[in-house]
Amino acid sequence: MLNELRRVDPEIYDSVRNEVRREHVEIELIASENYVSLAVLEAQGSVLTNKYAEGYPGKRYYGGCEHVDVAESLAIERAKRLFQAEHVNVQPHSGSQANMAVYLSALKPGDRILAMRLDHGGHLSHGHPKNMSSWIFDIASYGVRRDTERLDYDEVRAAAREARPKLIVVGASSYPRAIDFAPFRSIADEVGALLMADIAHIAGPVAAGLHPDPVPYCDFVTATTHKTLRGPRGGIILCKAAHARAIDSTVFPGSQGGPLMHVVAAKAVALKEALSPGFRRYQEQILANARALAEALAARGFRLVTGGTDNHIVVVDLTNRGLTGIEATHVLDRVGITVNNNQIPFDPLPPTKSSGIRLGTPAVTTRGMGEDEMRQLAAIIARAIEARADKTVLQHLRNETLDLADRFPIYPGILRRLYEQERGAYEIPGGHP
């Protein structure tokens, strides 16, 4: 396995092998990450990367597209079925590219977009000053209420009346509550705006029918394929038939060149997996795990933003614990738990420090962990933060996460083959490959 890579480029081989090992030995609680299936990996690692396929199935600018056409047509058909969408474009290279394509197709430079404030949970591509969305468009924003830390649809309506945007964006990167899209449709209609939902994070629960569905209400829905949807890194756009031509021509040739056909094929595989019965059970377990993690953390005295979660995300406010989000991230790194620091609404600290951390359950759920393991993780997190100055305690907790990792292996076959081939040249701490 990876023998040719090892021979040709040992440094890159090391990078890949070490990442396989890291993914096994660390507990991944970054809400936006997941582990794809071996079938997705194989499709993405295939010779489809060689093919230029500018255009769309049956309408390409290059010859020899008959096989990649099959892959892209299947991806489109499966996404349409999964989300009950009128039209789908599977070519966006990422979620940010999908969002830009919608903006560029629906708006003219200088037009106004109303989106969720970034420090309340919105995404960079919703108008961060250093993102091109804000260089090209005029960004107005809405946020959550200070008292509930939740969206208040009346406040959004007031913001829309004030801003008179051409496009309203609904969706977030770190909002732990369900979003109702019907009031957003009514607000958009009142001010004459188009409506886009960005379900990058919640695509999995939406597809499984476990989160309110934006598709009936929105002109455009964008998503990533690599978060809860558990596919390859990439983006996807769903839209009403009336916008189909504009979206397709804005993706290509408007804002991208040749599609990444190996990734498109891997998206098709992930969408097939998402249409299978096991997927709904997987999404239910993600949500059950997030609730268990939230309850166990709250029971240990952590203040949770909004008091809990409706989705796969838990945002923890560390203000009463005497450390910042970035400090907590470093402490948890030392015990083998990977998270990211995150601002809380009305955070007095800048994003680089931040008062909170964001946790998510898609990756640990893919490993097979359930509510018992979430309670164990909450206990480890609490102990680590409490005893952060005590090396012995941290070492003990690290051993506990290694045992947990060994009980729920990820890519065990890949790890074993790499290990055997190197004859134990590197050690897998805490257990057997």
**Residues designated catalytic:** 52, 54, 198, 224, 227, 233
Interacting span for ligand PLP (CB under 6 A) from 197-205, 240-248, 267-275, 425-433: 197-205
Residue ranges of alpha helices (H) inside 147-276 are: 153-163, 181-191, 203-207, 244-249, 261-274
Among 318, 297, 300, smallest CA distance to 309 is for 297
Interacting span for ligand PLP (CB under 6 A) from 20-28, 198-206, 274-282, 295-303: 198-206
Candidate list 51, 60, 201, 358; residue touching ligand PLP; CB under 6 A: 201
Q: Give the other-Cβ count within 10 Å of 253's Cβ.
A: 12
Interacting span for ligand PLP (CB under 6 A) from 170-178, 258-266, 291-299, 310-318: 170-178
Among 205, 207, 204, 240, smallest CA distance to 221 is for 240
Candidate list 34, 89, 105, 125; residue touching ligand PLP; CB under 6 A: 125
Name the minimum Å distance from CB 11 to ligand PLP: 26
Reduce the DSSP state of residue 108 to 3 states and report it. Answer: coil
First to last CA, the chain: 15
Helix axes 391-407, 10-25, angle to 10 degrees: 100
Q: Cβ-closest residue to ligand PLP?
A: 95
Interacting span for ligand PLP (CB under 6 A) from 13-21, 135-143, 166-174, 338-346: 166-174
Q: Does 358 bind ligand PLP (CB under 6 A)?
A: no
* Residue number with CB closer to ligand PLP (105 or 173): 173
Place of tokens 């209609």: 189
Query: 71-110 mask for ligand PLP (x: CB under 6 A)?
Result: -----------------------xxx--x-----------
Write phi, then psi, for 77 (nearest 5 degrees): -60, -45
The DSSP symbol for 254 reads I
Name the minimum Å distance from CB 125 to ligand PLP: 5
Q: Does 143 bind ligand PLP (CB under 6 A)?
A: no
Write phi, then psi, for 147 (nearest 5 degrees): -75, -40
Tokens of 290: 């997030």
* Residue number with CB closer to ligand PLP (97 or 365): 97
* Residue number with CB closer to ligand PLP (268 or 378): 268
Q: Give the other-Cβ count within 10 Å of 212's Cβ.
A: 17
* Residue number with CB closer to ligand PLP (96 or 355): 96
Q: Does 32 bind ligand PLP (CB under 6 A)?
A: yes
* Residue number with CB closer to ligand PLP (55 or 356): 356
* C-alpha pair distances (Å), 213 with each of 95, 154, 180, 207: 19, 20, 8, 8
Please give the Cα distance from 187 to 167 (Å, whole number). Answer: 11
Q: Which residues bind ligand PLP (CB under 6 A)?
A: 32, 94-96, 99, 123, 125, 171-173, 198, 200-201, 224, 235
